[in-house]
Structure 1
Amino acid sequence: MTITSSHPSVTSRPQPDPELWPGLATIPSGPRARVSAAIAGSLLRAVCRRLEIQLVTPDELPLPGLPAIVVHDEDEFLRRVGADGLIGFGEAYLTGAWDSPDVALLVTALAARVDQLVPQWMQRLRRVHVRREPRRHRNTVTQSRSNISHHYDLSNDLFALFLDPTLSYSSALFEVVDGRPHGPLEAAQHRKIDRLLDQAGVGPGTRLLEIGTGWGELALRAAARGATVRTVTLSQEQLELARARVDAAGLADLVSIELLDYRLLDGQYDAVVSVEMIEAVGDEYWSTYFRTVDDLLVPGGRFALQAITMPHQRMLDTRDDFTWIKKYIFPGGLLPSVEAIEEITRTETQLSVTDRLSMGAHYAETLRLWDQRFCDSVDEVRALGFDPTFLRMWHFYLAYCQGGFAGGYTDVQQMTFVKDAHERTS
């Protein structure tokens, strides 16, 4: 019996256009690829047994509610995984060599026990096998614009299809019912924004700087409180739509939006807010980022940060790795750890942490809703000019990230800092 995904129009097997998807055009071949595929097959079967993941063919029906991998082309699947690890795992999904009735459930199972996926002796050899992040992805002042454009300038219309009316592209903060995030996405996005503005002390007359405009919802809500807002972005598409939304709201006298790198900012502000922008900074520039915020804040000023994070040791182990997400979604991206943020701000700035809220389960629910809306809008996505391989890529990206938060591999934090009077120690 053939497996049908819950979103068949997204997950049907495409034939990637070699001009649009050159990295998918060639399946690894040769003696080394055969050996690597054999090793990958042994590891995959062991992992599936240990994690109780169903590994089936298209003629088998997996049990509902349990994670499953449906293998359509075993040779291609294992060759890609053997040659390129998790990048190959994702690429084999893009080509349809494997599928799953529920990608997020599968990734949740993998993420929850990620340290047990391969034997310890193989983990010690990861530096030999895992690819390094290309130097061309470094987040210099000149390169950051290109890295941001790769993702955020795809199409405003695309993002509008799966985001809620606020166009907020970051974790929402839901009500918690019976221990689980629950409620309408739009209200949860407003709750997230309002909490950040409250933590930053934004009110009438506040001089607010926002680093990372998005599509302008936070700036709109801050201006509605009577704040004067300067907000900067590196996305031309976001800039244009955010300006249009501010004009439509009649708040252009309170909100200034600029296409500008955070390192080129000047002025003095009572508050700074930055929502899920630090992930695009890169670890070599984290000190620059926090020093810049420190320099721009007046004494006693407040900084509200929302950041996707990962455990500290995992961040240290993987920060130079080239991953599927970095290759296809966020070039140059890197998730910090809470420890890294606290260490830099403690030793290099006058910023002191006064509050921290962990929201990982809320991001899993946010992503679930985004993925559901995206999969329900595939006809509209196609009408925008995106091909079937893109549909699989975007669904995999949203479900992959959902699984990461649900399985505890990643988290998201709201952190509040106050600029105090002590001097820098370095």
Structure 2
Amino acid sequence: MLAGAAGPAAPAAGRTEVDAERWPGVAPLPSAGAVRTAVARHVVARALIRQGLVTPTAGARGPLLTLHDPDAFRQRIGRGGLIGLGESYLAGEWDSDDLAGVLTILARHVDELVPAPLRRLRGMWVSARPPADRNTRACARENIQRHYDLSNDLFAAFLDPTLAYSSAVFTEFPARPAALPEAQHRRIDRLLDLARVGDGTRLLEIGTGWGELALRAAARGARVTTLTLSAEQAALARERIAAAGLADRVDVQLRDYRDAEDRHDAVISVEMIEAVGAECWPSYFTALRRALAPGGRIALQAITMGHQQMLHTGATHTFINKYVFPGGLIPSQEAIAQHSAAAGLRTVADDGYGAHYAETLRLWRERFAANRSVVTGLGFDTVFQRMWEFYLAYSEAGFRSGYLDVRQLLLTEGTRP
């Protein structure tokens, strides 16, 4: 389980109030060394001023970053780069009147924040991914459980009643909270239509979530096999499916995607590829291809980033890897095309809608903030809550800035349309 996810609530966030046992990466102020700290002081100060994040730009009032402990802030960034930025927020060393807004500006100008001559020294601020991030069968189960087995009630505190944990598709912006369940069903139905799921379809779902897609597929008359490595998700998905009277149509299995059995008319996988890890993408697409009956269709939903950004990220230990999704990597469109083609699959359709994910994340973040007392009552301390807020705002910023996108793809065998 993720550090900080159990026990009584901690006091207000701040470096001296962080539980060192729960948060070993946050409680101590790391030693960055004189050179790193000096470089961070110079680069960070210039970048924040240039983007108007510490002082409003002339004639404009944008989101502001408030430094409570400037020296600690710079020291953490000098030692850990973007991980240090996040850990400094967890420690309460800075705040913002608009966290998602600040992170959006930083994401939009990420390539300009560090002067070109210093980019060659990138190794000073980043570290390689730890071996435990590799998604072997044992590590994959542990990595999935560290996120999805935190608590079903935690996820219910910020998701809508569908418990769908991926981008909705809205009909208007800004999206209203009440529109989220219908928007999630719209997104799910698009995937089911893409895969031509209907009465009698044999459907394999890789990545169960809490069962909403399986429920809607079964309601269409499909026979669904859905795979997950999360015991918490599997238990609640089975409860929801049984309550809907569809247990005879849906088989929820605690099974690795690499062990999928039988052939299916349709295969659907929603935002699973990001958790697989780059070293396992060949086996992931091979498993998709192997599970497909002749003439079948694969509907894939994936978050994507630019190819060069993916290559840099893939070699780096990031805040999201360390605290939220261990072992994961967001692919590029090029990587998806390359690995799917190598497995004998052809991309027939590819549609992006990143702005919808930004709105989805905004609604989740606002609901999480409104339910802080619920989250505290579940035993998640203040530092965990700041971590989760940072994660949601960080993700929203990725989509608002265009750094990230989300896409629905249709894959078929070889050249079959």
* Corresponding position: 1:334 with 2:329: yes
Aligned to 2:188: 193
Aligned to 1:6: none
- Specify which of 391, 398, 402 is matched with residue 392 of structure 2: 398
* Corresponding position: 1:135 with 2:131: yes
1:19-418 aligned within 5 A: 19-29=21-31, 33-55=33-55, 65-176=61-172, 184-346=179-341, 348-418=342-412
User: Following TM superposition, by how much is the alpha carbon of 1:50 offset from its aligned partner in structure 2, in angstroms?
Assistant: 2.6
Distance 2:274 2:218 in 1: 26
CA contact (8 A) 1:181 1:361 kept: no
Distance 2:172 2:262 in 1: 39
CA contact (8 A) 2:215 2:246 kept: yes
Distance 2:245 2:334 in 1: 41
Secondary structure at 2:163's aligned position in 1? coil
User: Following TM superposition, by how much is the alpha carbon of 1:121 offset from its aligned partner in structure 2, in angstroms?
Assistant: 2.1
Secondary structure at 1:28's aligned position in 2? coil
Secondary structure at 1:294's aligned position in 2? helix
CA contact (8 A) 2:10 2:19 kept: no
Secondary structure at 1:40's aligned position in 2? helix
- Specify which of 8, 19, 28 is matched with residue 17 of structure 1: 19
The verdict on how the C-alpha distance between 1:231 and 1:63 changes in structure 2, with shifts beyond 3 A counting, is farther
User: Following TM superposition, by how much is the alpha carbon of 1:111 offset from its aligned partner in structure 2, in angstroms?
Assistant: 0.9
Distance 2:415 2:346 in 1: 10
CA contact (8 A) 2:352 2:406 kept: yes
Distance 2:366 2:274 in 1: 24
String of CA shifts for 1:285-331, please: whole Å, max 9, x gaps.
10110011011101211000110110011111221200111000010
User: Following TM superposition, by how much is the alpha carbon of 1:11 offset from its aligned partner in structure 2, in angstroms?
Assistant: 11
The verdict on how the C-alpha distance between 1:316 and 1:19 changes in structure 2, with shifts beyond 3 A counting, is same
CA contact (8 A) 1:298 1:419 kept: no
The verdict on how the C-alpha distance between 1:10 and 1:278 changes in structure 2, with shifts beyond 3 A counting, is farther
User: Following TM superposition, by how much is the alpha carbon of 1:395 offset from its aligned partner in structure 2, in angstroms?
Assistant: 0.7
User: Following TM superposition, by how much is the alpha carbon of 1:128 offset from its aligned partner in structure 2, in angstroms?
Assistant: 4.9
Distance 1:323 1:406 in 2: 20
Distance 2:340 2:296 in 1: 14
Aligned to 2:3: none
User: Following TM superposition, by how much is the alpha carbon of 1:421 offset from its aligned partner in structure 2, in angstroms?
Assistant: 5.9
String of CA shifts for 1:120-161, please: whole Å, max 9, x gaps.
222222235410110011001111000001110000001001
String of CA shifts for 1:37-83, please: whole Å, max 9, x gaps.
22111111211233222259xxxxx9985121100011111111111
String of CA shifts for 1:322-344, please: whole Å, max 9, x gaps.
01110000100100001110112
Distance 1:381 1:64 in 2: 36
CA contact (8 A) 1:10 1:378 kept: no
String of CA shifts for 1:250-285, please: whole Å, max 9, x gaps.
101100001100001110000000001110101111
CA contact (8 A) 1:108 1:407 kept: yes
Distance 1:71 1:397 in 2: 19
String of CA shifts for 1:219-278, please: whole Å, max 9, x gaps.
000000000000000101000000000000010110000110000111000000000111
Unaligned 5+ runs, structure 2: 1-8
Distance 1:79 1:325 in 2: 20
Name the Cα RMSD after superposition: 2.0
CA contact (8 A) 2:154 2:375 kept: yes
Q: What is the count of residue pairs matched by the alignment?
A: 404
TM-score (norm 2): 0.93
Distance 1:282 1:384 in 2: 30
Moved over 4 A (4+): 9-12, 62-65, 180-183
Distance 1:65 1:49 in 2: 13
The verdict on how the C-alpha distance between 1:297 and 1:383 changes in structure 2, with shifts beyond 3 A counting, is same
Secondary structure at 1:13's aligned position in 2? coil
TM-score (norm 1): 0.91
Q: Percent identity?
A: 53
Secondary structure at 2:302's aligned position in 1? strand
User: Following TM superposition, by how much is the alpha carbon of 1:385 offset from its aligned partner in structure 2, in angstroms?
Assistant: 0.6
